[in-house]
Amino acid sequence: MHHLKSLRVRVALVWLVFLLVVAFSLIQGSRVRANILAEENARFERNAVLASVASEVFTAQLVHQVGALLRAVRQFHRKTGAYAETEAFIDQLGFDRSLIDGIYLLDAEGWGVAKARGHNAAERDYFQHHRQTPGDSLKISPVEVGKVGGKLHFSISLRVERDDGQFDGVLMATVRPEAFSNHYRQLQGGEDRVFSLILSDSRRLLTRLPEPTPEQWARPVALENWPMILRDEVGRFVAVSPVDGIERVYVFRKIHQLPLVMFVGFAETEVAYAAAVRFERLQDIAISGLTILGLAGLILSLALISRERLATANVCLENAYEAMRAQAMSDALTGLPARPMFFDRLAQAVSAARRNERLVALLFLDLDGFKAVNDQYGHDAGDVVLKAVTHRWLTCVRDSDTVARLGGDEFAVIIADVLPGTSMQAVCEKIIAALADDIELPSGHFAHVGVSIGLAIYPDNGLEIDSLLAAADAAMYQSKARGKNTWTIATARPVANGEALDWLVFSDAHLLGVAEIDEQHRQLVRLVNRLNRAVNGDEDAGEVAGLFVRLFEATRQHFETEHRYMVQYAYPATTVHDHEHQRLLEELTRMSSETTPGNELLILQRVKDWLLDHINAADRQLGHYLVRHGCH
């Protein structure tokens, strides 16, 4: 009797253990399912963030490329003043027509010349904007059907001025929305992500994958989250898409210094489906004849394995992110450094030359006859020519020198650590001679190109990055005017009457019409010029840091002044403008902390752009508003 009772206890204990194991397994199964869902959510969102970063880089580079083309055309037009010659110059640029549809010149009355002849844009928003707004800023306009080509495009435009600063017309480049589609498809990575690029001022779509219907291009995107989007640089929200009615998780990212916001969205149903597939796979493995105890152990093991896999996936994503950053720093076609890496290396070379009393030679190269190759043999042939040119030029310089592709058929060469008195004639002639032989194309044809070179020397022709680049660029155009396939040394000088010229000049074009704000802008310009002289005068790090502190304090006081005016005159965008002030102060703090020997010139260039963008963009709008409401 006692034995039976003991057996029943043991059986009960077995069943109790069994039931506990089953209960534990069920609980763990629920936890594993929840963990998988959370991991998939994190994976989808992380992928979306990485895709938005890559799209931001792609978009910023494209807009920068278009801006460089427009400024080159504007500079040529200022020199010649002839519409026919300017149109011929545009035809010779050889820009990538898979991205840029065309570049058009409009006169001061809004009439198109040459290809756009007969079309008047005087009443268009972008034309009115440039007519009323002096400055060098680009205007990005919403998607529309082109009057010349009849295709959907959005435009990027730039004001043209005469030498006296008077309005002289508009240069406009048209960009096809579908030019972005292949880039977005490459970033989808097998997931059904949605990509949208939206103008923050008009809230109109510039690009989208999948593409919207024709009427949706013209309709502002209705989102309840716009206040947050306008306030924050990056963020996340859940919303029903106004385009296709699907609820998605969206990550957004503002494109730096542009009125653009990049959205990448994914549906939570996709996350749930991916998690369900993973969990079903776990169940299939578990049900393959294992006992309940084995199943419980397997679920725990798989949970650990899934975490390890997630960690591995995170490492892969980090590697992918670093690869995308490296891709943004290098030209995809030639493998040469692109603009960001070029500016970084030029800054380092100039900083080292200043410390070691050496020179830096900057060669600005523009191919002659490249457009004819594209027109006659196609863009694939043009790519072959660019690769061949790159290979030949790399053999003309030292390993320590830098050959960079700035965009299209524009290149630059940085020759660092040059002894005073060294002539660059041999290098220039070697680069020109490297293109003497024809380039064989895959079709069996032969192409021939030349090169016009502009040479600027640090410190003879400029002390700052942009000054040096502008001097080399101007010299290159002189080579073009002299008959091409030659080189010209810059004539610009950074000094006059024994005193350093102001690097940043505050002119009447920068005036807003509000005396107190204009005077504070002058003070900020003076401080930036003082900072520039401190860096170029090799003053110690303490003096430079002190100037950053003074600049920060003057900027903070200036922003307090602007806030007072905005409140007094009920400026409708006060909250947005205040948020921009906070961002600018944070950016100035970051630039101050990042200033180290070797990169100080790059930081200086960023400080200059930081201030001019502040004056020419948001503050100009504020100034117009205050003047209209009687403030002087």
Three-state SS string over 290-344 comes to CCHHHHHHHHHHHHHHHHHHHHHHHHHHHHHHHHHHHHHHECCCCCCECHHHHHH
- Known catalytic residue at 331: no
Pairing relation of β-strands 487-489 and 450-458?
parallel
How far apart CA 538 and CA 231 sit, in angstroms, is 39
Sheet containing strand 402-407, edge to edge, reads: 402-407, 410-418, 359-368, 450-458, 487-489
Pairing relation of β-strands 167-175 and 152-161?
antiparallel
The structure tokens 């963020």 sit at 235
Amino acid at 76: F
The structure tokens 């990538």 sit at 96
What residues have CB less than 8 Å from 456, skipping those under 6 apart? Answer: 361, 362, 364, 462, 468, 469, 471, 472, 475, 489, 490, 492
Question: Exposed, middle or buried by CB within 10 Å (0-12, 13-18, 19+), for 263?
Answer: buried
How far apart CA 209 and CA 566 sit, in angstroms, is 39
How far apart CA 27 and CA 59 sit, in angstroms, is 48
How far apart CA 355 and CA 180 sit, in angstroms, is 44
DSSP state of 133: -
The residue ranges of DSSP E strands in 257-298, in sequence order, are: 260-266
Which residue is catalytic, options 168, 344, 401, 409? 409
Amino acid at 407: G
Write out the catalytic residue numbers.
409
